[in-house]
Structure 1
Amino acid sequence: MSEFIISAHAMCRQSPIDASLCAQDSQVVIEDKTHTTRVGVRGVAAESFLKRQGMIVPDQPNQAEYSENGLIVLRLSRTEFWLIDVAQSHQAALEALERQALSEEGVYRLYCQHSHALFELKGEYSAEMFAKLCGVDLSHGAFAAQSIAQTSVARVNAIVVNTSLSAQRSDNYLILSDVSSAEHLWDALLDASQEF
């Protein structure tokens, strides 16, 4: 089992989503990013482990740190962190980090690569579209850049990350949800986006 390194098998990943089914005439762009590399760690030593690996870690739970080169660090609780490589430019670094975690005391790997689907939403009306599917206000005034909401979207448990750049008004979000509910959520998002 120690050789089961999730990030090392990018070519073997599959998504339950038919990406050809996309809203063509909507101003809200929805992309399936389920194939992108994700690594999770949890434990009392997880934060210090990530910092030793050179990662910038959010100070508080339900916050994200991200860079323009596509690496995003989510802090979901005091001791749980997910790293997402949206740009697919950190494959080797995340594979090395995952291997290093195997020998760290107080650090446990999480298999978020296979447990969760990942969608990216972009567009000026993304927050308005969310209002149709989610009881949490995800608009700019209420849901700041780098914030995370662990909530329900279209009756599916989801992690919503505001990856908008605060310097410009660009509505960008990531949604992670259990892979078993991915098709339902994808269909709900596509349906809601048609209004915009």
Structure 2
Amino acid sequence: MESFNLSSVPSLRKNMLDLTHSGLSNASIKSQDCTVHSRVGFRGMGVENFLTSQGLPIPSEPNQSLLFDESLVVLRLSKSEFWLVDIENTHHELIETLELGAKGLDDVYRLFCQHSHACFLFKGEQTATMFSKVCGVDLRRSVFPIGSIAQTSVARTNAIVTRQEGKGKEYFLLLSDLASSQYLWEALADAASEFV
């Protein structure tokens, strides 16, 4: 049986998040739901060589991220696990090419983070302070510089958080279990409401 390519039908992706009554944008914190944007993950001892052979930069250490071409965040979650997140949804073809190119390779296994995780982006001068209300990790720039990753709990939900900078603006990218996305979005909206 032919395996299904997760990147093959981006137009059919649907987000179950209800944004109607949980606005999360104010003067000092802006948010964006990137859950339906293209992303893919890979695990295995051959992933580093595979991604490098495709011309992608990769972080040298676990729990680090890099920005490629202004909007593709490359996260290294462990020695052999990498996720690629397209925050502007402009790298779909590259992600599809990577997904297809990994088929049949030894020690390169796809991870289905497109359908398992919600993806939120937060920016603004008060964002790290907002996170301090719901996250035990200190995300201030002095201790959590650009490129850092925290695999932690945010509002009692397991999450991956990274700080990046693109087009001259810093932002936080948060990935968490899709099943908890509505709860987490509303918890963060509540935390952000104090920074109007």
Please report the TM-score for the alignment, with normalisation by the length of structure 2.
0.94
Code of the residue aligned with 1:133 in structure 2: it is: V
Instruction: Decide which moves more: 144-153 or 85-94.
Output: 85-94
Aligned to 1:71: 72
Q: Which amino acid aligns with 1:11?
A: S
The one-letter amino acid paired with 1:98 is E
Tell me which residue corresponds to 1:184: 183
Deviation at 1:26, TM superposition (A): 4.5
Aligned equivalents of 2:24, 2:50: Cα separation in 1: 41
Contact in 2 for aligned 1:151/1:157 (Cα 8 Å): yes
Number of matched residues? Answer: 194
The yes-or-no answer on 1:16 pairing with 2:16 is yes
Q: Secondary structure at the match of 1:195?
A: helix
Query: Contact 2:160–2:176 at 8 Å: present in 1 too?
Result: yes
Query: What is the aligned partner in structure 2 of residue 5 from structure 1?
Result: 5
Cα contact 1:2–1:102 (8 A) shared by 2: no
Instruction: Give the match's secondary structure for 1:164.
Output: strand
After TM superposition, the score normalised by the length of structure 1 is: 0.94
The amino acid across from 2:5 in the alignment is: I
Partner of 2:192: 193
- Deviation, structure 1 residue 19: 2.8
What does residue range 119-134 of structure 1 map to in structure 2 within 5 Å? 119-134=120-135
Check the 8 A contact 2:145/2:163 in 1, yes or no. Answer: yes
Contact 1:74 1:82 in 2 (8 A): yes
Matches within 5 A, 1:129-168: 129-164=130-165
Structure 2 residue identity aligned to 1:31:
Q
Q: Give the equivalent residue in structure 1 for 2:53.
A: 52
How many angstroms apart in 1 are the aligned matches of 2:94 and 2:170? 28
Match of 1:112 in 2: 113
* Structure 1 residue ranges (4+ consecutive) displaced by more than 6 angstroms after TM superposition: none
Inter-partner Cα distance in structure 2 for 1:9 and 1:116: 17
Judge which range, 54-63 or 8-17, deviates more: 8-17
- For structure 2, list consecutive stretches of 5 or more residues without a partner in the other structure: none
RMSD: 1.6
Amino acid at match of 2:124: G
Offset at residue 30 of structure 1 (A): 1.5
Alpha-carbon offset, residue 25 of structure 1: 3.6
SS of match in other structure, 2:146: coil
Deviation at 1:68, TM superposition (A): 4.7
**1:121-177 alpha-carbon deviations (Å, 9 max, x no partner):** 010000000000001000010100011000000000000010136x96x44100000
| 1:103 to 1:148, Cα distance in 2 relative to 1, 3 A | same
1:175 corresponds in structure 2 to 174
Return the alpha-carbon distance in structure 2 between the equivalents of residues 115 and 102 of structure 1. 20
* Percent sequence identity over aligned pairs: 45
| Partner Cα separation in structure 2 for residue 23 and residue 14 of structure 1 | 20
Q: Are 1:26 and 1:195, in contact at CA under 8 Å, matched by a contact in 2? A: no
